[in-house]
Amino acid sequence: MVHVILRNFFLFLSKNQLLNQSARKWGLKLGASQVVAGETISQAMKVVRQLNQKGLVCTVDHLGEFVTTKEEAIQSADYCIRTLNAIAKTGVNCNLSLKLTQLGLDVDSRLCYENMKKILSCAKKHRIFVRIDMEDYSHCQQTIDLLEKLRNEYVGLVGTAIQAYLYRALDDVKHLKGLNLRLVKGAYKEPPEIAYQKKEEIDANYLVMIKQHLRSGSYTAVATHDHHIIDKVKGFCKEEKISKDQFEFQMLFGFRTELQEQIAKEGYKMRVYVPYGNDWFGYFMRRLAERPQNVSFALKGLLSKS
């Protein structure tokens, strides 16, 4: 019960625009510096290089919330392109992740599409994969529709994420057969009309999704910190004789770092999701909502600044 209350509380805070704007003035305080790799591209590249040296590959995401104007969307797209150029220049082993709302999806869907084409054209030049993060349910179909427009022109360079708590998730995985998908449990608050609410139901659907995508021969990114799920995926792939080249594990920067390094040492590809930027508040609140134990991050951060 306490877990549910805390989850709903942090998800509520994540959508508060006033707090989000105030947080930019605080800098990476309240523990966020432990899970956000700085505010600049150069700081993010430094963290990525350090992770690469430990045998981990990465994907970086320039954080952003509440984009409401064409100018903001264009600025976000430019930042994505600058990030791709930095990845290429530094030679780090890293992909790019982004959100369509940052690129203007809520402002003008055509603008968002044009911004994506510019980003993917740059990614194609550098041969860097771009992941479209899945957002809340209201943006789910829009995200998949835009992906369908891009997948044939930018083959092997673009994919998205599918969230297991949605009833539609398995159908989406089947529909997107052949694409590189990040499969996740889900991080937003969705009503029972469209999403599973119980952990055991979400976990069960998650495993079905993973097995479905792997059996189809599609590249699968298993994004979870749940070691029970990870062990089951390892066992399944061994039983089905699925090559380690067909899948990878993914975790968030700053979480379960020892497990990340252990997985890499076992010969699996372990990708770390590395967020950066000064618009970190919404991201951080969602991480606290996922696991209230993460509040300790915030307390440590607050105490270290006092």
Enumerate the active-site residues: 133, 182
Rounded distance, CA 192 to CA 195, Å?
Answer: 5
Which amino acid would we find at residue 140?
C
Q: CA 291 to CA 234: how far, in whole Å?
A: 24
CA 257 to chain centre: 17
Token pair for 33: 């510096």
Phi and psi torsions of 19, nearest 5°: -65, -35
* The CA-based dihedral angle spanning residues 245, 248, 254, 260, taken in that order and rounded to the nearest 10 degrees: -70
In terms of DSSP H, where are the helices of 127-198?
Answer: 140-150, 169-175
Query: Residue 245 carries which DSSP code?
Result: G
Residue 182: beta bridge partners? 161, 221
